[in-house]
Amino acid sequence: MPRPFLPLLIALIAGIAFSSNFALQDFPVQIGLVGGLLLILLSRGRKWDRLYYPSLFISLFLLGILDMNLYLHPHIAGNHIRHFAGDEKIHAEGMICENPQVSPEKTELVVSAFRIIRNGQYVPVSGRVLLKIREPYPLHYGDFIRFHTRLRAPHNFNNPGGFDYERYLLFRGILVRGNINDASGFIVLRRERGNPVRTRLEHFRDWIRETIMQAAPGTEGRIIQALILGDQKEIPREVMEKFNRTGTTHIIAISGFHVGIVAVFALFLARLCLKTEYLLLRWNMAKISMLFAILVVIIYTFIAGAGISVVRASIMVTTFMCAILLNREGDLYNTLALAAFFILIITPYSLFDVSFQLSFIAVASLLFLTPKLVALLPPIPPDGHSNSLKEPFLRHIKKAVRGVAIFFFVSLSATLGTLPLILLYYNRLSLITLAANLLVVPLLGVLTIPLCLLIILAVPISAALAAFIIRIAELPVGLALFFIDRLAALSFAAVFVPTPTLPEIVAFYLLLISAGFFLDRLSARGEKAPSRKMFLLGKVLPALLIFFFISDGIHFYRQGLQRGRLTLTAVDVGQGSAVLIRFPGGKRMLVDGGGFYDDTFDVGKYVLAPYLWHERITRIDTVVLTHPDRDHLQGLLFILENFHVREAWINGETSDTELYLSFLRIIREKGIVLRTLSSRTPETEIS
């Protein structure tokens, strides 16, 4: 089997996906798994060895089901703190077991509960609690705290196209949550009660954070902090929005790209320091350098917080380096499948994580498309040792142009590969992402990340040296922010789009594969293309494309049948109300938008808009505000700003709140017709 891990990975993924959609008891699956393993042992090397691979695939399929069931249906102990969720506030104690997420607006803690206090008695409990404090507080991993809150089970907004928050917390082992308004709701009883090694690591991370903030207190320092510590919470919202508009958010979220640069820089340092005649003659310095790079990647993973996305990226990069170390780098697709296999065995829920999907699709696209695009470039002729002074200069120019073209092709391949998923999860298409990445990635990636490694080395040696390197790192970061600021200000920088359907996503990837095979033909330069690729390009892919286009057409035909009906949909916005009215003929009216008395959650952006995009709605004829209370108004601001709205209706009731003034400002800036209606307003025919 030329790529053994690809079919094994597919079998595991199928089991995980099956478990997440169909409830299946563990016992029959365990019986099937034992039977499959027995068949594997009995069939290997015997006359019925043809059963070996089917048994292996079935066993991995069943293993995927069991692995996922551990997270979907966890065992809940009798003393789990979830049993104390309800309307009554409780006093509880526990230890902060994950790094607190602190932003200018709030603090999020995951607390491992130890006991609750009831009628003056300690009652032992277990389980993890997500606590949200509505102010920033300097809390740390290992702090033992007492808190007073009302516990609730997590719940979703029950709208199609919405984020599954319950499942997200379930995968983190969190079954209950609570809110705390201010410092009166908790107290730190003891410090440093966690794992001693991790506590020391957190001290070092705090040391790095303080050093960066002292040397670079502005936005540049917060970007550097994100690249080293993996903490984006302190980056201002408006700056994050600019990164989103330009399609460059990936550069400040630690991923395989960052870990890859760390590995390359570590290889460079190792070879530079160990390049002596004595060592080169006695040792395989290439492999020693690779081992050193793997060690540096592991250390960087822990310094970056060892979050699940960072660990996944490190596993992927380390797997590739181990393949090179073992002289198995010949098939990178198989290595990529092996990395995904490892990750899914350890954390099967990663299959449904956006960062996992984007990372592996991006790398697969790079492996598939980039070599085909680079093959189209004209080769640079060998050095002819000409006496002309122009020829060496022209060769350098051609090499530089070729390097820029290759970098562009890398960015293009990753962008095309991840485009359907970005539209599926974020509904935002950046029209300037290629230009922005050409400018920003070299600055924040190639230049800044190596400087970040030097900062990590310098902090324990000398505060002055670390501050000096931080100020150097500020230069490329500041220049990147300058480009981001200018590009994000362009009116056409990004647009919001409806959620693509599954047939559309599959059809896009089929077209991408077809384009890759077509590029192979273009670059063959007279050579005959393999018959397998020609069969796929000429017969299979067109048939599949036709099938998925027909499926999509049927979907839109069914939607069209609804246009002749009047439909009212009450959108679940949690607090307040929001009603979407669809009239015969296609006109749409949105009555109120819901809202919370908490600025940290935008119900319009995260609840109402995803539902509208799921329904493929980008244009609303009329937005109606029944009254300017926050729980009816807040969600409308994002809709007015990012959807095509023709009219806004109000009843004449006004307010001097900042929210209502923003409502009027957006209407004025967008040129939306504002109508004030009352009982004396003449009747208006809508449809």
All structural domains of the chain with their residue ranges: 5-72, 81-193, 207-381+389-496, 502-563, 565-676
First to last CA, the chain: 63
Helix (H) or strand (E) holding 29: helix 26-43
Residue 79 gets the label, from left (phi > 0), alpha (psi -120 to 50) or beta, of alpha
Compute the distance between CA of residue 609 and CA of residue 612 in angstroms, rounded to an integer: 5
What does the pLDDT look like over 65-80, one tens digit per residue?
A: 889 988 998 889 989 9
* Cβ count near 70 (within 10 Å): 13
Helix or strand holding residue 574 (H, E): none
Q: Which residue has the higher pLDDT, 103 or 668?
A: 668
Place of tokens 């009603």: 579
Tracing tokens 């008695």 back to the chain, one arrives at 121
**Is the fold of 81-193 the same as that of 565-676?**
no
User: Residue 576 pLDDT more than 90?
Assistant: no
pLDDT at 669: 93
Whether 541 shows a pLDDT value over 90: the answer reads: no
DSSP string of 390-411, one letter each residue: HHHHHHHHHHHHHHHHHHHHHH
365 burial type by CB count under 10 A (0-12 exposed, 13-18 middle, 19+ buried): buried
Reported as a pLDDT band with limits 50, 70 and 90, residue 580 is very high
Give me the pLDDT at residue 378, please.
82
pTM (two decimals)? 0.88
Tokens, residue 647 = 């009219």
Residue 324 pLDDT level (bands cut at 50, 70, 90): confident
Tokens of 391: 């020829």
Q: What are phi and psi of 128, to 5 degrees?
A: -110, 145
Q: What is the Cα–Cα distance from 571 to 214, expressed in whole angstroms?
A: 47
pLDDT at 212: 96
> pLDDT category, 574, cuts 50, 70, 90?
confident
Q: Tell me how many helices (H) and strands (E) the chain has.
A: 24, 16
* pLDDT of 44 higher than 70: no
Q: How many CA atoms lie within 13 A of 385 on its CB side?
A: 0
Q: Which homologous superfamily does the CATH classification assign to the domain defined by 81-193?
A: Nucleic acid-binding proteins (2.40.50.140)
Token code pair at residue 289 = 């350098």
Mean pLDDT of 330-339: 86
Report pLDDT for 557.
Answer: 65
Backbone angles phi, psi at 327, to 5 degrees: 60, 40
Strand partners, 91: 117, 148
DSSP-derived letter for residue 211 is: H
Give the closest residue to 674 by CA, choosing from 643, 652, 655: 652
- What does DSSP say about strands 144-149 and 174-180: parallel, antiparallel, or unpaired? unpaired
- Check if the beta carbon of residue 198 is closer than 8 Å to that of residue 96: no
Residue with the larger pLDDT of the pair 81 and 525:
81
**CA–CA dist 55, 11 (Å, integer):** 11
What is the enclosing helix (H) or strand (E) of 169? Answer: helix 165-171
Residues contacting 222, CB < 8 A, separation 6+: 234, 235, 236
Per-residue pLDDT band for 380 (boundaries 50, 70, 90) equals: confident
Beta strands 90-96; 101-102: pairing state? unpaired
- Return the SS3 of 593: coil
Report whether 427 contacts 498 (CB < 8 A). yes
Compute φ and ψ for 113, nearest 5 degrees: -75, 135
Q: What is the DSSP string of 329-397?
A: TT-HHHHHHHHHHHHHHH-GGGGG-HHHHHHHHHHHHHHHHHHHHHTTSPPPPPP---S-SHHHHHHHH
For residue 413, which amino acid is it?
Answer: S
Instruction: Please determine, looking at this structure, whether the domain spanning 565-676 carries the CATH number 3.60.15.10.
Output: yes
Which tokens is 591 given?
A: 């009555």
CA distance 45 to 49: 6
Residue 386 has pLDDT above 80, yes or no: no
Is residue 630 within 8 Å of residue 584, measured between CB atoms? no
